[in-house]
Every structure is written in structure tokens, then in C-alpha cells.
Structure 1
Amino acid sequence: MSAPMTAALAARHDAGVLRRFATELFSASGMDPDKAEIVAAVLVEADMLGHDTHGLALATRYLTEIDNGAMTLTGEPEVISDRGACLTWNGRRLPGPWLVVKAMEIAFARLEQHGIVSVAIGNGHHIGCLAAYAQRAAARGKVLTIHSCAPGVATVAPFGGLRAALSPAPFAIGFPTQADPVMIDISASITTNNMALRLSQEGRRYPNPWLMDAEGEPTDDPTVLQRGGTVLPAGGVDHGQKGYGWGLTAEALSQGLSGQGRADGPKGMVNAVFLQLIDPEAFAGLDAFTRQTSAIADKCHASPPRPGMGPVRLPGEGGLRRQEAAERGGVPLRDGILDALQPWVRRHGVAIPPALN
């Protein structure tokens, strides 16, 4: 029988203290201070939203990448093309969260003129949790769509195939309503590489057969990825053509429009990104937009729950409640996350943040 996906959470920590701690670690490792601050904020926000595979658990991998010279720590992206409403960058392996936030700020500034602004970023470093960006856009009354992929790895098999060809290809959509924003953060695969890595390290299994071994049999064993296995596309062996299609879309938009991706043979934690910001005021107006999105949300909330299920929620609703609880009572961190950072803590003389409980 498979072990549950969740594990006991350890101590809670003040969100501001965690952000300062992570900022100090990245800055001490040579990252520009403004970049370090944004990377730290995005990682901590992921933990607050409950996306803990993409929170401070990533800091160890990022710092290892810095030690190996695989992340660029200073400077600006290279502009490949700029037509105002369309901007394309070579991300130069700069920190992914900083690249995305910088791209969004540029897009926000251009929305009044263009209404829709699209940015393609190739050859950037890992961008972390997409929900953090969706929330930023919705809070400003904008609509964000973002597609990302990791052209340096392939763990997802095409539907009907045995050999991996794609990355999990996450994508997110965020938009405002008259109440909570809707924040959709999903991937074209059933699970993610980071979750498979965590379960493998902890000796645990998935609750369902979300992977496929090298012979094509579905399995709940995350270690099959180390033996020629693959992650199943969303829809699994039954309707996996849906996830397969989503994955192709995400990889084409991010790599194709940036002009940088698998064709170049990249290695490591490189990301390609395509993001688009939409201003409802350029269409029927924000009030008209949220009137409609709120009606849709109300219909979903009013749907009677299935037997044994709680009230129907909208995507991102649970994360927002977790974020609010983390602001009040501290951010829960899994056992081992801060311990894994000890080599850099000792090297740079940064103090481990104290727990609140």
C-alpha cells in the first residue's frame, strides 16, 4: 500500500524572517541584492501557498547551481526582439524568479498602450512556483497566463510512447473576481519532477500509479525515473492525450517563441517561459470582467459537493487560506529543509531563522 503524499510539518517560521534569511544566503553567494530579494520572496511565497516542493526546498538546489557556476548572478537579460507588445529575451541563466518578475513589471507598464503584452524568455534559470506570479497579476486587476518548460530534461513520455520526450511543462492562469482571485497552477503531467525526487529521497511512494516503468507498466514507485521510467502525462494511460497536448503547447510557446530550447541541447535547470498579461480595461472593462468571473465562481461554489467531499473550491482558494494562516501564525517548513542549507549557512555566517513554536 502506498504511503500518503503528505508528511508531518515541522516548526513554523515568521515569513519576513524567512525572506531575509534567504535573501542573505543568495546575496552572500554572489547574487545581485535585487535578484536575491525577489528569488527569496517567490520561494517563501510558494511555501506560504502550500507549494512546498517549489519553496525553500529549492534553495539548496539553487545554491548548488551557484557553486557549480550554472546560474548567472549579475547583469541583465539580452534583448533578442522588442516590438512593444512582444518582447523576447535570452535569459542568460539569470535567476528565473527575477526574470519573470522583471518581465511582468515591464509588461504592466506597457499594458495601458497595448492592452496585451507577451514576453518570451529562453535560457533562463528555474522559475519556481507559477502560482506566485498569478497572484501578483490578479492583485493588480490583470489576467496572467504563463507557460514554462525545462528543455534540459525529459521525464514525460508522449502519450502512447515509452521514452521520455517532454518536461512536466507547468502552466498557470490567474485572474481577478469580485472576491478572491482564481489562481490555476497545474502541469501537463500528473506529477512533477520535484515531487518524484522528494518521494525517492524519503523512501515513499505515490498514492496512485502516476508514473510508468521502462516496460510501460503504470507504477507508484518514483525511483523508476532513475531506471528509464517516465512520468505519465495528465490523464494517465486512459486519457493522457490531453496532458500530451498541453505539454506540447507549453513547450512550443516557451521554446519556440523564445527561439531557445531542446534543439540547442541545454543541460541542467534551464527554463523557457512564455508569459502574457492582459488588461481587462482594454476590452469591456475590469468591472465587466469581474462581474462575469464572479458569476462563474459563484456557480462553482453553489454546486453541491460529492458524497464525502467538502464544499467546492476554486483553484488557488486553498492556497490563499494557507497564505493567510502563514501570515498570522508562521510558515510551516518540512523537516530537513533548513538542515540541508547548513553548508551555506556555515560558509557565509548567516543565522538559521528561529522557529515560532
Structure 2
Amino acid sequence: MQTGFRFQADTLQAFVEALLGYAGSEPEEARLVADHLVSANLAGHDSHGVGMLPSYIRSLSQGYLQLNQHASVVKDAGAVVTLNGNSAFGQVAAHEAIQLGIEKARQFGLAAVALNNAHHIGRIGYWAEKCAAAGFISIHFVNVVGDPMVAPFGGKDSRFGTNPLCVVFPRKDGAPLLLDYATSAIAFGKTRVAWHKGIPVADGCLIDNQGLSTNDPGVMHVPPLGALLTFAQHKGYALATLCEILGGALSGGKTTHQDTLQKSVDAIFNCMTTIILNPDMFDAPDMQHQTEAFIDWVKASPHDPAQPIQVPGEWEANNRQTRLEQGIELDESSWKAIGQAALAAGMPQAELEAFTSRKM
């Protein structure tokens, strides 16, 4: 089986910026979206990387995604602020929300920022990393409005989205501790990657349209559709429920139910409620030492030397280093779909071929 293509990160960055420019994005919007998507690939989360472009272009053509729009403040209550994403690129609206939240946290020591009605905001860990880079802890609750693809515990069809939870803790002399995962057993985008590659997913992740367990990722892409399962059975379902409410209802946005169902699978709208904390405001002078002592303690557990114990966020950091050096690999089917999206956006065939020729 062909492995496809491998690109340097800066090549993909330039390609995405060019594609979005042809679609109508202003340069800064194109830069923000490209940086987010390529960063997801670098972190090892191809499900949220440049492979999202075909969906974005379809959403744009269907009238859901709105180019060159920005988040607007609906209510500013000091340390608590609510924003409407105005159907803008989520990578733009969430950037603006997080930047405002960081400013509020600097001013007040903590902030709560609610963002609703934003098109797909992508990999949530990216936003947490922005908070950590500013020296702040952050907690993010996210829902996916009206796009059911996950079955409740004990259910046999999809009822809600993948509803991510994300938490970050900045370390003084190391990569931040980063928890970032969908409350489904695997992210929907990982089924797309597996489907393009023609490989099965692990046991316990999917059910078909009859509610029966399956390893075929195609049940999420070819009708009749099946559903994702939550991770850890009832525990993942309970967490998904709270992400739905705290991310959707509390943000001033919507939750998923009969009246909010989207008409297109490409109309991906997120709501996110973020809590940002300044750790320096706590009476914890030994905080960083205690953090590192714990990390050293767990890493000292007896283990296979070939499989070292990692802390949350270390997997992404290692992937980033490797992929910056060795390039980002895209399977042939994914690159073909991305190329078709580029042509649909208005990129000339010759320019697409020129970018393709820049593979490693």
C-alpha cells in the first residue's frame, strides 16, 4: 500500500494559505487557519489537520462557513465575557476569544470566556497551549452543535458530538502538561483518516446502524451511518454530557437536540467555555517543584525501556519534534481530497501540481 506524500510544515503552511486566499480569505485569516491546521498535524493529530480542508470548502460552498468574519462581544462582565463567533472560521473566532481571555486573566487573575456560534474551532489543545505560553492554566469545555455522531451509554444511535475536554498546566522548564481529548472513544476525524487509509479502527470505538460493534470506519462516512461510542463507557458519557451543557448552554449557544440538528455534516459549529487561571495568584510557592517531583515519581515506575512512561502532552511534543525534522505524512487518498478542495477553491491546476512536487 502506498504511503502517500511527506511535506515540510512550511510547505503545507504556504499551501493552505494559498488555498484559502483563492477561496476568499484575507491574508491574516488564511495565516491563522493554516497555522492551526499544520500545528495539529505536527502534534500528531492528523484528524484535525489539513485533512479538514475539504470539509471547510464544502461548508463554505453550502453557505455555513463565513469568511473574514470575527467574534463579537455579547456581554462583558469584567472577568467573565461572552462572545458570538458569527459563523466565522473557528480558528479566527477562538483566537480572538482566547486572546481576550488571556488579557482578562492578566487583569483579574482569572477569567471565564464563553464562545458560541463559531465554525469548527479545531484542535482544542492548540488554544490551551496559547494559554500555557502566557503562563496560565486553562480548562476548556466544548460541544459540537447539532451534529450527532456519538451514542449515549446504552444507546444504539448517535445523539451528540465528540465534545472535547481540555486542561493545561504550564511548567517552568518543560512542555506544559496537556490533557486534550474527545469524550468519544476516538475522534471523528480519526475515522476519516482510517477510512482514507483503508485500515480498521480499534475494538470498542464504533457501532453500525444496527447498534452492533464494528471496526469499519466507513460506518461514519457511508450511509447508513453508525455511531461512535464514548470512552470508558458510562464515564465518558457523563463527561460528554457536562461538556455539552457547560460548552453549549452556558456559553449562550445551543445544545444538540431535534431543533438544532444541522442539515450538513460539513456545518461543524462549536461552542466553548474556557476558564483561565493565573497560577501565581495562588499561595503555592512550591508548585513547580511539587509538579516536577510528581512527574519524576511516575516516570520512575518499572516499565519496558522501549515504551517510556509519558506525561500528558509529551506525546504531542515528541511528535512535533519528529515531524518538524522528518516532515508531515499524508496518505494518497487524503492528499487527493485536499487537492480537489484546492481546485474547487479556485487554485489553478498548475499551482496545485507545483505544491505537490514539493513533497519530500
Q: 2:315 aligns with which of 304, 314, 318?
A: 318
Where 1:253 maps in the other structure, the secondary structure is helix
- Please state how far the C-alpha of 1:256 moved relative to its aligned partner: 0.9
For 1:123, what is the secondary structure of its paired residue?
A: strand
After TM superposition, the structure 1 stretch with the greater mean CA deviation from structure 2, 113-122 or 339-348, is: 339-348
Unmatched runs of 5 consecutive residues or more in structure 2 = none
Q: Which residue identity lines up with residue 241 of structure 2 in the other structure? A: L
Report if aligned partners of 1:304, 1:312 keep a CA contact under 8 Å in 2. no
Q: What CA deviation, in whole Å up to 9, does each residue of 1:142-182 have, x standing for no partner?
A: 11222222112112111122232111111211212232211
* Residue of structure 2 equivalent to 1:190: 185
Give the match for residue 158 of structure 2.
164
Secondary structure at the counterpart of residue 61 of structure 1: helix
CA-based RMSD: 2.3
Q: TM-score, normalised by structure 2?
A: 0.88
Mapping for residues 224-263 of structure 1, pairs under 5 Å? 224-225=219-220, 226-235=223-232, 240-261=233-254, 262=256
Q: How much identity, in percent, do the aligned residues show?
A: 27
How far, CA to CA, are the matches of 1:113 and 1:218 in structure 2? 50
Preserved CA contact (<8 Å) 1:211 1:219: yes
3-state SS of paired residue (1:166) = coil
The one-letter amino acid paired with 1:316 is G
Q: Which moved more, 1:40-49 or 1:292-301?
A: 292-301
The structural deviation recorded for 1:21 is: 1.7
Give 1:204-223 correspondences, 5 Å limit.
204-223=199-218
Measured at CA, do residues 282 and 192 of structure 1 come closer, stay the same or move farther in structure 2, by a change above 3 Å? Answer: same
What is the CA distance between 1:219 and its match in structure 2? Answer: 2.3
- Structure 1 stretches of 4+ moved >6 Å: none
Question: How big is the shift at 1:356?
Answer: 5.2
**How far did residue 241 of structure 1 move?**
1.0
Matched, 1:327 2:321: no
SS at match of 2:334: coil
Answer whether contact 1:11 1:355 (CA < 8 A) is retained.
Answer: no
Q: CA deviation at 1:247?
A: 0.2
Q: Partner residue of 1:71?
A: 65
Relative to structure 1, the CA distance from residue 15 to residue 202 in structure 2 (aligned partners, 3 Å threshold; closer, same or farther) is closer
Distance 2:83 2:244 in 1: 16
- Equivalent of 1:114 in 98, 108, 114: 108
1:8: Cα distance to partner?
6.7
CA contact (8 A) 1:149 1:273 kept: yes
In structure 2, the residue matched to 1:270 is 269
Mark the runs of 5 or more structure 1 residues left unpaired by the alignment: 1-6
User: Is 2:143 the counterpart of 1:149?
Assistant: yes
> Could you tell me how far 1:277 is from its partner in structure 2?
1.6
SS of the equivalent of 1:79 reads: strand
Q: Tell me by how many angstroms 1:275 deviates.
A: 1.6
TM-score by length of 1: 0.89
Is it true that 1:123 corresponds to 2:121 in the alignment?
no
